[in-house]
Each structure stands twice: as structure tokens, then as C-alpha cells.
Structure 1
Amino acid sequence: MAVEPRHITIERRVRYAVLEPHERPATEIWFALHGYNQLAHRFLRYFQPIHTGARCIVAPEGLHRQYIDHESRRVGASWMTSEDRLTDIEDYVGYLDRLHAHILAEESRRRAGGSPPARIVGLGFSQGVHTLCRWLAFGRARIDRAVLWGSTVPPDLELAEHGATLSDADLHLVVGDADEYYDRAAVKAHEARLRGAGVAFTSHRYPGGHHLDAGTLRCLAEPGGTG
């Protein structure tokens, strides 16, 4: 007897964390997509160096939670696995679109008539890089700058179809010189792939491993900053 996997659509609550701006209205909103086995509220600790002025930082949490350490009952979250991956991608793109719309609607209620809209920055770290790229490719949200930190554009994302969208998002690639998951050869291959597809980007390096570097983050957060 054949077993046939099926799906139904349900409503569920999702969790995200926010560093509210010190000044209102927000002039810049960051959507920070965490890496594998991280949690949104803990991930936001790394953004304290740029939590200044009218900058709002929002960290969505991946839809899959699991125990990292059963003895300590430590929990982390992820964006997807290889199991039923296309459904997971569709779900998280829809989730991020809805969260983006929700945050911008909240901000619009605080803005005076005629004031310019907030600048939107999307930053993906590690596994969150693939999530951000697919959100750009398949979602509807406006992202003015995209920062890909510590990973590559997904190999299965067709650049012939989606490369222009990545270029339009003011693409920035960031990697540490000692990143244990993303070595120099992988960086060169990734950049060559993007150049070959005509995707415009700016590269950033820092002396460190697979983590968010405070100095590089500050450079990226400078008005018009390119590091």
C-alpha cells in the first residue's frame, strides 16, 4: 500500500524579537535572520553595537525548534531541513512577508504625514543567508540593502532568473578570514558565480571566524556605509 504525504494549511503563532529604536519614528528597520540552532532574542544581542538612534532591529525566529543539548534542555531554531524543503521555503517566505508588512504597518502609524519611509535592511547570518536570498527571490517585501554574512547564495537559486533582484537589493557579502565553514576557495567560487551572472555586490572581510563582527557591523550600519 502506497503512503501519500499531504498538507493542510493551519494558523499558528510565530515568535520574533525586537530591539525598539531609541527615537521615533524609525528611520531604518533591520530584519536579522539568525543561523542554525540560534534563537531570535539571543541573536539580537549581537546587534547591540548598532542599536542606536532611530534604528529598529527585528529578528524573526525560524519555524523549527529542537533541543541542541538534551541534558541541559537548551533549544535552538532553524529555518528548514532537507525534508519537505519546498514546503518549508514557501512557508517561511510567506511568514517573512507577513512580518515585514506587520512591522511596516506599525511604523506607518507612528509617522507624520509626508515623512519618508524607513530604509529596510535584511541581514542573514549562516543558514539565514539562504533564507534571506529566497525571501528576496520569492517574496514581495521591499529590501533596500541585503547583507549575506557567512554563507553563499543558495546553489539551486537560478541567477539567470533572480540575479537582478539580488543586485537591486544592494548586495553585500561578509565573511571572516578564519571562517571554519566558508573558506577562501568557497568565497572565490561564490563571487565568481555572482560575477558570471552579472550580479553586483560589495565584499567585506574581517579577521575572525564564523560570527558577527561588531566592527564590520558598525561599518555596514554607517549612513551609506560600505565598510
Structure 2
Amino acid sequence: MTEHHLAVTRTARYYQLGQLSAATKRVWFVCHGYGQLAAYFSRHFAFITAADPATVVIAPEGLSRFYLTGNGGRVGASWMTRDDRLHEIDDHVNFLNQLADQVLALCAANVQVTVLGFSQGTATVSRWLTRAHFAPASLIVWAGSFPEDLAPAAAQRLLAGLSLTLVLGTEDQYISLLQMQKQQEQLQQLGATPKLITFAGKHEMNRAVLEALAGLGPAQGLS
């Protein structure tokens, strides 16, 4: 028995908050975590576009969906698993590049792009950005990890001059503060200057931190 692969066309889903136009000054691409759906994840960012019509938020959804419990009920999405992972990574990079090309073509050339990944989405956005067709202004790695398997040269090209922020809840049940601080040191060795923001909470998004990152609230907890 031999394994084969066939590239096919499929329909990907994403959600948009705000209206894209030549007047758009800021675009956020935000990628959800394991078992989430983009429709619900995007709601965390609704206040940003409501407060600033010049900002648009794009929330793509992982291509693999599954029932969270048993064979029915709530559905979640995933970016990848360890099975056939390299092809899944390629599929998502291609999806995100096509999406970004479409979105940014409707904006001015100097539009400022922020990319945020939450949990499993952090690895997805980091891998994507090493092969993206644009240079982001900032990257937010929230409750997740910058992938260690990226080629150092590719990682260094991405991180050079990039505004990089790491975010973590102090009670996160999946990643400890010590692990995040170690990651911060590793990123510094690659030439990055990552800031670390912590908040009182678990493996979750936090409104106050998002407000600060979006320039809509006081910057607190920076280190």
C-alpha cells in the first residue's frame, strides 16, 4: 500500500467585521484556537471595529471541522493535527494567502496589518507569515507558541523589525508563565524584541488587553 496526495479545490470560511475600502487604515487577521469557530471567536473583536470604522477584522476558520463531543452537537474547527501535518500546513498557508491577497487588494498600499493567533492559531499564523505576500506591522502570539520547527533564517526574516507581543493569562491551564518567558528568551535569540503582557485569567481572550493592543485603552502589564 502506498500513500498518495491529490490537491483539490474546497470552500473555506471566514468572517469579517467592518467594511473594507480605500479608507481602511488597519486590518486585523485573527486566528482562533483548537475546537473553536471563527463566528464566535470574531465576537471578541467587535468592539474594535465599532470604535474605529477605519479598522477591519478578518477571522478565517480552520479547514477541518468536527463534533466536539461524540457524533453530534456542538462543532469546532482545527488548523491541523499531527497526521499529514505538512500538507495541512500548506493548505492553510495557501488559504490564508489567498484571503489576504483578496482583502488587501481593497485597501490602500500603506494599510497597517496586525496578525493575532490564539492558542493553536499561534502556530498557524507564525508559519503563514514566513510565507505571506505582505509584511505585517505587528504579530500577537496569545496563549500559544511560536513554532520551534521553523527554519531559523525564515524566522529571523519575519521577526526583524516586527512588533511582537506575547499574551498569557496568569492561570492558563495549558501554558505556564515560565514557559512563555522561556519562549520570549528564545525569540530574542532570533533577533526579536517581544513584549510580554499578562492578565488575571485562564486560557481565554481578555477585553482589557485587546483594548490596549488596539490603542483603545491604557497599556498595562507590559514587560
Normalising by structure 1, we get a TM-score of: 0.88
Question: Structure 1 residues 96, 44: CA separation in 2 closer, same or farther (over 3 Å shift)?
Answer: same
The answer to whether structure 1 residue 56 and structure 2 residue 56 are counterparts is yes
Equivalent residues of 2:20, 2:107 under 8 A apart: no
Could you list the runs of 5+ residues in structure 2 that have no partner in the other structure? none
The answer to whether structure 1 residue 174 and structure 2 residue 167 are counterparts is yes
Equivalent residues of 1:177, 1:207 under 8 A apart: yes
Question: Structure 1 residues 24, 139: CA separation in 2 closer, same or farther (over 3 Å shift)?
Answer: closer
Superposed, 1:89-108 pairs within 5 Å as 89-107=89-107
Distance in 1 (alpha carbons) for counterparts of 2:21 and 2:207: 22
Distance in 1 (alpha carbons) for counterparts of 2:20 and 2:183: 38
Secondary structure at the aligned position of 1:59 is classed as: strand
Could you list the runs of 5+ residues in structure 1 that have no partner in the other structure? 109-115
Distance in 1 (alpha carbons) for counterparts of 2:91 and 2:83: 13
| Map of 2:84 onto structure 1 | 84
Deviates more, 1:183-192 or 1:147-156: 183-192
Distance in 2 (alpha carbons) for counterparts of 1:85 and 1:40: 21
Between the two proteins, what is the percent identity of the paired residues? 33
| Map of 1:42 onto structure 2 | 40
Normalising by structure 2, we get a TM-score of: 0.90
Distance in 2 (alpha carbons) for counterparts of 1:153 and 1:181: 15
- The count of corresponding residues between Structure 1 and Structure 2 is 218
Amino acid in the other structure paired with 1:10: V
Amino acid in the other structure paired with 1:29: V
Secondary structure at the aligned position of 2:2 is classed as: coil
What's the Cα RMSD here?
2.2
| Map of 1:111 onto structure 2 | none
| Map of 2:206 onto structure 1 | 213
Question: Structure 1 residues 161, 25: CA separation in 2 closer, same or farther (over 3 Å shift)?
Answer: closer
Distance in 2 (alpha carbons) for counterparts of 1:208 and 1:21: 32
Equivalent residues of 1:97, 1:139 under 8 A apart: yes
| Map of 1:113 onto structure 2 | none
